[in-house]
Amino acid sequence: MTRHRTPEGHPAPARREARGTATIEFLVVAFAVLIPLVFGTLEFALLVVARQNLGVATLLAARAGATGNGDRGAMRAALARGLVPLYATRGAAAAFAASRLDAGRPDRTQIEIWNPVPASFTDFGVRVDGRVEIPNVWPRTRTRTGAASRQTMAEANQLGVRVSICRPLFFPITAPLFIAGLRLADSSPFALSCYAQRGIVIRARALVHMHSPARRAAMAL
Protein backbone atom coordinates (compact mmCIF):
# COMPACT_ATOMS: atom_id res chain seq x y z
CA MET A 1 0.00 0.00 0.00
CA THR A 2 1.32 3.42 -0.97
CA ARG A 3 2.07 5.72 1.97
CA HIS A 4 0.88 9.28 1.57
CA ARG A 5 3.68 11.77 2.19
CA THR A 6 4.09 15.44 1.71
CA PRO A 7 6.71 16.72 -0.72
CA GLU A 8 9.11 17.12 2.23
CA GLY A 9 8.76 13.40 3.12
CA HIS A 10 6.75 13.85 6.32
CA PRO A 11 3.60 11.78 7.01
CA ALA A 12 0.40 13.14 5.56
CA PRO A 13 -1.83 15.34 7.81
CA ALA A 14 -4.41 12.54 8.07
CA ARG A 15 -1.86 10.21 9.67
CA ARG A 16 -0.72 12.89 12.12
CA GLU A 17 -4.35 13.51 13.09
CA ALA A 18 -4.84 9.76 13.71
CA ARG A 19 -1.82 9.68 16.01
CA GLY A 20 -3.07 12.73 17.86
CA THR A 21 -6.48 11.12 18.31
CA ALA A 22 -4.91 7.95 19.71
CA THR A 23 -2.90 9.99 22.20
CA ILE A 24 -6.00 11.84 23.37
CA GLU A 25 -7.90 8.56 23.73
CA PHE A 26 -5.09 7.12 25.83
CA LEU A 27 -5.06 10.14 28.11
CA VAL A 28 -8.82 9.97 28.53
CA VAL A 29 -8.61 6.29 29.49
CA ALA A 30 -5.72 7.01 31.86
CA PHE A 31 -7.60 9.77 33.67
CA ALA A 32 -10.92 7.93 33.67
CA VAL A 33 -9.68 4.47 34.72
CA LEU A 34 -6.01 4.12 35.58
CA ILE A 35 -5.54 7.16 37.81
CA PRO A 36 -8.69 6.53 39.92
CA LEU A 37 -7.65 2.89 40.21
CA VAL A 38 -4.19 3.81 41.49
CA PHE A 39 -5.53 6.44 43.90
CA GLY A 40 -8.26 4.08 45.08
CA THR A 41 -5.71 1.36 45.81
CA LEU A 42 -3.54 3.78 47.77
CA GLU A 43 -6.56 5.09 49.70
CA PHE A 44 -7.67 1.58 50.57
CA ALA A 45 -4.17 0.70 51.81
CA LEU A 46 -4.14 3.79 54.04
CA LEU A 47 -7.55 2.83 55.45
CA VAL A 48 -6.34 -0.69 56.23
CA VAL A 49 -3.41 0.76 58.17
CA ALA A 50 -5.75 3.16 59.96
CA ARG A 51 -8.10 0.29 60.86
CA GLN A 52 -5.24 -1.71 62.36
CA ASN A 53 -4.05 1.32 64.30
CA LEU A 54 -7.58 1.92 65.58
CA GLY A 55 -7.81 -1.69 66.75
CA VAL A 56 -4.71 -1.27 68.90
CA ALA A 57 -5.86 2.13 70.20
CA THR A 58 -9.29 0.72 71.09
CA LEU A 59 -7.66 -2.03 73.14
CA LEU A 60 -5.56 0.58 74.94
CA ALA A 61 -8.71 2.58 75.68
CA ALA A 62 -10.50 -0.51 77.01
CA ARG A 63 -7.56 -1.36 79.27
CA ALA A 64 -7.53 2.19 80.62
CA GLY A 65 -11.22 1.85 81.38
CA ALA A 66 -10.74 -1.56 82.99
CA THR A 67 -8.23 -0.15 85.47
CA GLY A 68 -10.01 3.19 85.91
CA ASN A 69 -13.56 2.16 86.92
CA GLY A 70 -14.73 2.48 83.32
CA ASP A 71 -14.03 6.20 83.23
CA ARG A 72 -14.77 7.57 79.76
CA GLY A 73 -12.24 10.38 80.15
CA ALA A 74 -9.44 7.91 80.84
CA MET A 75 -10.48 5.84 77.84
CA ARG A 76 -10.59 8.87 75.57
CA ALA A 77 -7.10 9.95 76.70
CA ALA A 78 -5.69 6.46 76.08
CA LEU A 79 -7.39 6.36 72.68
CA ALA A 80 -5.79 9.67 71.71
CA ARG A 81 -2.34 8.35 72.62
CA GLY A 82 -2.95 5.19 70.61
CA LEU A 83 -4.04 7.10 67.51
CA VAL A 84 -0.98 9.40 67.40
CA PRO A 85 0.64 7.36 64.54
CA LEU A 86 -2.22 8.42 62.26
CA TYR A 87 -1.02 12.01 62.62
CA ALA A 88 2.71 11.24 62.50
CA THR A 89 3.38 13.45 59.47
CA ARG A 90 2.91 16.52 61.67
CA GLY A 91 5.76 15.84 64.13
CA ALA A 92 5.49 14.27 67.59
CA ALA A 93 4.08 17.22 69.53
CA ALA A 94 1.73 18.35 66.77
CA ALA A 95 0.60 14.77 66.13
CA PHE A 96 -0.36 14.24 69.77
CA ALA A 97 -2.17 17.59 69.89
CA ALA A 98 -4.13 16.79 66.73
CA SER A 99 -4.99 13.29 67.96
CA ARG A 100 -6.17 14.60 71.33
CA LEU A 101 -8.24 17.30 69.62
CA ASP A 102 -9.98 14.80 67.33
CA ALA A 103 -10.53 12.36 70.22
CA GLY A 104 -12.44 15.09 72.05
CA ARG A 105 -14.66 16.05 69.13
CA PRO A 106 -18.03 14.22 69.08
CA ASP A 107 -18.20 14.58 65.29
CA ARG A 108 -14.82 12.86 64.89
CA THR A 109 -14.76 10.25 67.65
CA GLN A 110 -17.39 8.14 69.42
CA ILE A 111 -16.74 5.80 72.35
CA GLU A 112 -19.60 3.44 73.14
CA ILE A 113 -19.76 1.03 76.07
CA TRP A 114 -21.75 -2.03 75.08
CA ASN A 115 -20.94 -4.00 78.22
CA PRO A 116 -21.90 -3.72 81.03
CA VAL A 117 -25.38 -2.43 80.32
CA PRO A 118 -27.59 -0.32 82.64
CA ALA A 119 -29.43 -3.48 83.66
CA SER A 120 -26.12 -4.92 84.90
CA PHE A 121 -26.04 -2.23 87.60
CA THR A 122 -29.67 -2.99 88.45
CA ASP A 123 -28.78 -6.64 89.10
CA PHE A 124 -25.33 -6.37 90.68
CA GLY A 125 -24.75 -2.72 91.58
CA VAL A 126 -24.02 -1.73 95.16
CA ARG A 127 -23.67 1.75 96.64
CA VAL A 128 -20.16 2.62 97.86
CA ASP A 129 -19.41 6.15 99.10
CA GLY A 130 -22.47 7.41 97.29
CA ARG A 131 -21.51 5.77 93.98
CA VAL A 132 -23.21 2.80 92.35
CA GLU A 133 -20.65 0.23 91.23
CA ILE A 134 -20.35 -3.43 90.33
CA PRO A 135 -17.90 -5.16 92.69
CA ASN A 136 -14.75 -6.42 91.06
CA VAL A 137 -14.23 -9.08 93.74
CA TRP A 138 -16.99 -11.55 94.56
CA PRO A 139 -17.38 -15.18 95.66
CA ARG A 140 -16.78 -17.39 92.65
CA THR A 141 -19.67 -19.53 93.77
CA ARG A 142 -21.99 -16.64 92.96
CA THR A 143 -23.09 -17.69 89.49
CA ARG A 144 -26.71 -16.62 89.45
CA THR A 145 -28.08 -14.85 86.38
CA GLY A 146 -29.46 -11.37 86.88
CA ALA A 147 -33.17 -11.00 86.17
CA ALA A 148 -32.84 -7.66 84.33
CA SER A 149 -29.54 -8.09 82.46
CA ARG A 150 -29.59 -11.88 81.96
CA GLN A 151 -25.90 -11.77 82.85
CA THR A 152 -23.78 -13.40 85.52
CA MET A 153 -21.51 -11.38 87.78
CA ALA A 154 -18.52 -12.48 85.69
CA GLU A 155 -20.18 -11.25 82.50
CA ALA A 156 -21.08 -7.92 84.11
CA ASN A 157 -17.39 -7.52 85.02
CA GLN A 158 -16.32 -7.39 81.40
CA LEU A 159 -15.82 -4.04 79.71
CA GLY A 160 -16.89 -3.94 76.08
CA VAL A 161 -15.97 -0.84 74.09
CA ARG A 162 -16.68 0.17 70.53
CA VAL A 163 -14.85 3.14 69.01
CA SER A 164 -15.84 4.95 65.82
CA ILE A 165 -13.61 7.57 64.22
CA CYS A 166 -14.07 9.77 61.18
CA ARG A 167 -11.03 9.21 59.01
CA PRO A 168 -10.46 11.89 56.32
CA LEU A 169 -9.85 10.66 52.78
CA PHE A 170 -6.64 11.84 51.15
CA PHE A 171 -7.44 11.62 47.43
CA PRO A 172 -10.30 13.88 46.26
CA ILE A 173 -10.62 12.01 42.98
CA THR A 174 -11.77 8.76 44.61
CA ALA A 175 -13.34 10.18 47.80
CA PRO A 176 -16.85 10.53 46.28
CA LEU A 177 -16.73 6.89 45.16
CA PHE A 178 -15.84 5.63 48.65
CA ILE A 179 -18.45 7.83 50.29
CA ALA A 180 -21.21 6.90 47.82
CA GLY A 181 -20.58 3.19 48.34
CA LEU A 182 -20.45 3.35 52.13
CA ARG A 183 -23.48 5.64 52.37
CA LEU A 184 -25.60 2.70 51.22
CA ALA A 185 -24.43 0.59 54.17
CA ASP A 186 -24.18 3.21 56.92
CA SER A 187 -26.42 6.26 57.12
CA SER A 188 -26.20 6.87 60.86
CA PRO A 189 -25.99 10.51 62.04
CA PHE A 190 -22.31 10.09 62.92
CA ALA A 191 -21.55 8.63 59.49
CA LEU A 192 -23.49 11.37 57.66
CA SER A 193 -21.56 14.01 59.58
CA CYS A 194 -18.32 12.26 58.63
CA TYR A 195 -19.27 12.10 54.94
CA ALA A 196 -19.90 15.85 55.01
CA GLN A 197 -16.28 16.25 56.16
CA ARG A 198 -15.09 14.13 53.20
CA GLY A 199 -14.22 11.22 55.46
CA ILE A 200 -15.48 7.73 56.22
CA VAL A 201 -16.18 5.94 59.50
CA ILE A 202 -13.81 3.28 60.81
CA ARG A 203 -14.85 1.16 63.80
CA ALA A 204 -13.18 -1.25 66.20
CA ARG A 205 -14.26 -3.21 69.27
CA ALA A 206 -12.50 -4.54 72.36
CA LEU A 207 -13.57 -6.68 75.31
CA VAL A 208 -11.47 -6.89 78.48
CA HIS A 209 -11.98 -7.99 82.08
CA MET A 210 -12.48 -5.25 84.63
CA HIS A 211 -9.59 -4.76 87.06
CA SER A 212 -11.50 -2.23 89.15
CA PRO A 213 -15.16 -1.82 90.14
CA ALA A 214 -17.28 -0.58 87.25
CA ARG A 215 -18.82 2.74 88.33
CA ARG A 216 -22.08 3.74 86.70
CA ALA A 217 -21.42 7.47 86.83
CA ALA A 218 -17.93 7.12 85.33
CA MET A 219 -19.40 5.07 82.48
CA ALA A 220 -22.33 7.48 82.06
CA LEU A 221 -24.76 4.57 81.89
Task: Check residue 139 and give its pLDDT.
Answer: 85
Q: Show the low-confidence residues of the chain (pLDDT under 50).
A: 1-2, 4
Task: Check residue 189 and give its pLDDT.
Answer: 95
* Secondary structure class of 29 (helix, strand, coil): helix
Cβ(212)–Cβ(67) below 8 Å: yes
State pLDDT tens for residues 22-55.
Answer: 677 666 766 667 777 888 899 999 999 999 999 9
Task: Check residue 38 and give its pLDDT.
Answer: 84
Write down the pTM of the prediction. 0.83
Cβ(194)–Cβ(201) below 8 Å: yes
Find all residues with CB under 8 Å of 51, minimum gap 6, and list them: 202, 204
Domain ranges in the chain?
A: 13-219
- Distance CA(167)–CA(86), nearest Å, equals 9
State pLDDT tens for residues 70-86.
Answer: 999 999 999 999 999 99
